[in-house]
Amino acid sequence: MDVKNYKDCEEKSIDQFPFKGAMRDVTGTSIRWLSSCGDDGNGYPEYGLRFFTIQPGGQIPIHNHFYHQTMYILSGRFECWQFDMDSEAIVKQVEVGAGDFVYVPSMEPHGMRNMSDSEPATFLCCIANVYEDEKPKIGS
């Protein structure tokens, strides 16, 4: 067993995320990898737990990825978006806060922004690759 404080993990700024072969600008966002395991062959782990901080007004633009992810909101309020893959139009928009979680299935285009103009917002993000057709159980 390993025990660490999240502050012991290096904080790295995220400047861009890819979507449809183009890099999209990320603003005011940093990540700390708390744990990870495996390699999916594309430079991402098979499993990971990450601590994100998004500064006031910061955002993560439309993007998608093979892994499934669940984001557990620790502090602040976020506006989260689900996008149409082809048109890139927002098809669902929700506001979430501390104690809420957001599940994003594999390859679903999504993004989010910190709704505050004055306070950082944080969340934990668990990622995992799933290689079966079974639908995940959410909140059970």
Query: So what's the pLDDT on residue 99?
Result: 98
Query: So what's the pLDDT on residue 49?
Result: 95
Query: So what's the pLDDT on residue 130?
Result: 76
For the chain, residues with pLDDT lower than 70 are 133-135, 140
Query: So what's the pLDDT on residue 31?
Result: 97
Query: So what's the pLDDT on residue 134?
Result: 65
Query: So what's the pLDDT on residue 6?
Result: 95
Query: So what's the pLDDT on residue 40?
Result: 75
Cα angle value 71/9/77 (rounded, 5°): 30
Query: What is the rounded distance in angstroms from the CA atom of residue 109 to the CA atom of residue 107?
Result: 6
Query: So what's the pLDDT on residue 125?
Result: 97
Query: What is the rounded distance in angstroms from the CA atom of residue 22 to the CA atom of residue 16?
Result: 10
Q: Are 83 and 112 in contact (CB under 8 A)?
A: no
Query: Which amino acid is it at 6?
Result: Y
The residues that bridge with 74 in the sheet, in sequence order, are none
Considering the entire predicted model, what is its pTM? 0.91
Tens digit of each residue's pLDDT (9 = 90 or more) over 94-135: 999 999 999 999 999 999 999 999 999 999 999 998 777 666
Query: So what's the pLDDT on residue 131?
Result: 74
Query: So what's the pLDDT on residue 76?
Result: 98
Query: What is the rounded distance in angstroms from the CA atom of residue 55 to the CA atom of residue 128?
Result: 26
Query: So what's the pLDDT on residue 140?
Result: 64
Superfamily of domain 9-128: Jelly Rolls (2.60.120.10)
Query: What is the rounded distance in angstroms from the CA atom of residue 125 to the CA atom of residue 16?
Result: 18
Kindly list the distances between the CA atom of residue 34 and the CA atoms of 12, 37, 69, 111, in Å, as whole numbers in the listed order.
12, 11, 15, 21
The residues that bridge with 111 in the sheet, in sequence order, are 81
Q: Are 44 and 69 in contact (CB under 8 A)?
A: no
